[in-house]
Structure 1
Amino acid sequence: MSQPKKTITDVCVLVEDVERSIAFYTDVMGFRLRRKAEGFADFEAKNVILAAWELDHISRHTGVSNLRAPEGALKGCIAMNLDKPEDIDAMYADLSAKGVKFQGPPENYEWNARCAYFTDPDGMLWELYAWLEGGPDSWHETYQ
């Protein structure tokens, strides 16, 4: 029997305050709000839906834990692929001007990508990356 195709359609970040998340993802990150409900919002992104769901709301309705991670504890990373390395620097400058605190300035990394890292208001790690010349395959060739 063949395996069914597995497609990731949504990424949901669990947040403290959905209104704060809406402001961050629309005003700072530039996503378009797609849908909003009590304790929940989602945003349009290319090929995936980004959703924000308040911890207490999901816990109240589904029974999952609403235990918060201590500040600084990272539980996941959302990566955003930009077209070219210069786009990383431009987005870094734009987001920095809007008050986003990055882990450091953009850098070229050994996996052949230019990257910059920051956290959203709820501590979710974000990676902005663009492949350097040769793309992702040149990194794999180096490490085979």
Structure 2
Amino acid sequence: MTAFAQTNPITDICFLVEDVEKASAFYVDRLGFKPRRRAPGFADFKGAGITLALWEIGHIAEHTGISGRRASPGVHKACAAIELPSPDHVDAAYAQLKKVGVIFLAEPQEYSWNARCCYFADPDDNLWELYAWSDGGPIGDIDPDE
């Protein structure tokens, strides 16, 4: 087994989007990401602990040779998660983001994996989860010492 993931933290997440301008507006205006770089078909932003990049599907396909196939609307292509300190923080974040126009799939609720969660999607249907562990913490830990 390689130790790659244990020695190289995830520093960026990149969502493939149809329209970088539309997606950028969502991430800046609704979620508060700070613009960092801009190039044709590409933008990236600073957030707490991570860089979020947006790359237009057609642009990345043209320049790298990866597939430019698009998923149907409503089909989620990725999920990014933000762990919050407590279930109350999930409720507060839900209220704050809903107030600025973020559309959630449902109100925060308790799930069987012992977490309070809520979900929303960006304009390209990339899914976001806000979650916090409920009393007793996560279940199913493989190595409880880590």
Please give the TM-score of this superposition, normalised by the length of structure 2: 0.86
Residues of 1 paired with 2:99 and 2:47: CA distance?
22
Q: Tell me what 1:42 maps to.
A: 44
Residues of 1 paired with 2:69 and 2:114: CA distance?
37
Q: Tell me what 2:107 maps to.
A: 105
Name the aligned partner's letter for residue 44 of structure 1. Answer: K
Determine whether 1:140 maps to 2:140: yes
> Is the CA contact 2:15–2:78 (under 8 Å) kept in the aligned structure 1?
no
Q: Tell me what 2:56 maps to.
A: 54
Q: Tell me what 1:93 maps to.
A: 95
Name the aligned partner's letter for residue 109 of structure 1. Answer: Y
Q: Tell me what 1:25 maps to.
A: 27
SS in structure 2 opposite 1:135? coil
1:60-139 alignment, distance < 5 Å: 60-136=62-138, 139=139
Residues of 1 paired with 2:133 and 2:45: CA distance?
25
Residues of 2 paired with 1:46 and 1:3: CA distance?
25
Runs of 4+ in 1 over 3 A off after TM superposition: none
Mean alpha-carbon deviation: is it higher for 115-124 or for 2-11? 2-11
Name the aligned partner's letter for residue 87 of structure 2. Answer: P
Residues of 2 paired with 1:135 and 1:21: CA distance?
34
Q: Any stretches of 5+ residues in structure 2 without a counterpart?
A: 142-146
Name the aligned partner's letter for residue 36 of structure 2. Answer: R
1:88 and 1:3, CA in 2 relative to 1: closer, same or farther beyond 3 A?
closer
SS in structure 2 opposite 1:140? coil
The count of aligned residue pairs is 139
Determine whether 1:13 maps to 2:20: no
Residues of 2 paired with 1:125 and 1:100: CA distance?
12
Name the aligned partner's letter for residue 140 of structure 1. Answer: G
Alpha-carbon shift at residue 3 of structure 1 (Å): 4.4
Question: What RMSD, in angstroms, separates the aligned Cα atoms of the two structures?
Answer: 1.8
